[in-house]
Amino acid sequence: MSDASDITTAPATAPVVPDAAVQVSGVDKIFTGKKKATVTALESIDLTVAPGEFVSLIGPSGCGKSTLLRLIADLDTPSTGTVTVFGKTARQARIDQEYGIAFQQAGLLPWRTVTGNIELPLELHGVGGAARKARVSELLALVGLSDFAESYPDQLSGGMQQRVAIARALAESPRLLLMDEPFGALDEMTRERMQTELVRITGETGAAVVFVTHSIPEAVYLSNRVVVMSPRPGRIRDVLTVSLGTAQERTEELRENEAFFENVSKVRELLHGEAPVGIRGVETR
């Protein structure tokens, strides 16, 4: 591993896959804290997400999974390496609105109605009133909130707020959806219902998804591939391909399925099974 502190330009360590939804190549992310202390949040990350593919990032706290998502979203920039989204730089992809995003907090604007929140990105990008109205009613139907179009966020439950946030993320029909523990603050029952709905929605829209979670069943239930990460420094430990069928085949019964449990065990083994990786590279904290 090269000393990352003196690298400013980014040598591409892997060839760019032209059709990939997301391509992360040789990415390191080093945060500089107080008194020049550095924390290596991510180390030599390589990851490719195909169009329409659902990829979960799973790992314990501090493994850098949220940081990786923020790099893809261009909310942060890598210290080394490159991130491309649909063949563009992450920055250009953000400017071109190539992705929709949902955070752990719904992050709705409390002074706007549900409709006002969902149409926010459309409004900011100059979509006309009539087109906005049509799109919002489509999205409300998609997330099952047609009766709450004129409600304010403080009148909705946490699960409903999160559905509004997902509708907002889907507003511009992005081909890529980035989700940072969107169901993390919900109770277990709501969570499972939301997962089922998300599988249906992504099946209908055909969008690729990068989904950050720390729930093993959630990752297995939703994903085509589960990326298992380890902390300090954040690295990809392994990638597990889950073959539980297409979106249409992923129903509630899947949660009772033998193959589902097998995959859950496999992810668990990957997370806990191997000997912990010692602290290496620069000093942490």
Nearer to another protein, 139 or 199 (CB): 139
Q: Which of 154, 253, 256, 283 binds another protein (CB under 8 A)?
A: 154
Residue 24: is it exposed, middle or buried by C-beta count within 10 angstroms (0-12/13-18/19+)? Answer: buried
Nearer to another protein, 43 or 180 (CB): 180
Can residue 152 be called a binding residue for another protein (CB under 8 A)? yes
Written as six digits, the tokens of 146 are: 């047609």
Nearer to another protein, 161 or 263 (CB): 161
Q: Which of 7, 10, 17, 75 binds another protein (CB under 8 A)?
A: 75
Stretch that binds another protein, among 20-28, 132-140, 146-154, 235-243 (CB under 8 A): 146-154
Q: Which of 124, 130, 189, 275 binds another protein (CB under 8 A)?
A: 124
Q: Which of 2, 12, 89, 125 binds another protein (CB under 8 A)?
A: 125
| H-state helical runs in the chain | 65-72, 90-95, 114-118, 120-124, 129-142, 158-170, 188-205, 216-222, 258-268
Tell me which amino acid residue 281 is: G
| CA distance linking residue 239 with residue 45, whole number of Å | 12
Q: Which of 38, 44, 48, 97 binds another protein (CB under 8 A)?
A: 97
Can residue 52 be called a binding residue for another protein (CB under 8 A)? no
| CA distance linking residue 176 with residue 273, whole number of Å | 32
Q: Which of 255, 105, 110, 67 lies closest to 186, judged by CA? A: 105
Query: Who contacts 186 (Cβ-Cβ below 8 Å, separation ≥6)?
Result: 158, 159, 162, 194
Nearer to another protein, 67 or 161 (CB): 161
Can residue 101 be called a binding residue for another protein (CB under 8 A)? yes
Can residue 111 be called a binding residue for another protein (CB under 8 A)? yes
Can residue 148 be called a binding residue for another protein (CB under 8 A)? no
Can residue 107 be called a binding residue for another protein (CB under 8 A)? yes
Written as six digits, the tokens of 179 are: 């989700």
Written as six digits, the tokens of 101 are: 């995003």
Nearer to another protein, 149 or 254 (CB): 149
Q: Which of 206, 271, 264 lies closest to 238, judged by CA? A: 271
Can residue 175 be called a binding residue for another protein (CB under 8 A)? no
- Which residues contribute to the site for another protein (CB under 8 A)? 73-75, 94-95, 97, 101, 103, 105-111, 120-121, 123-125, 152-155, 161
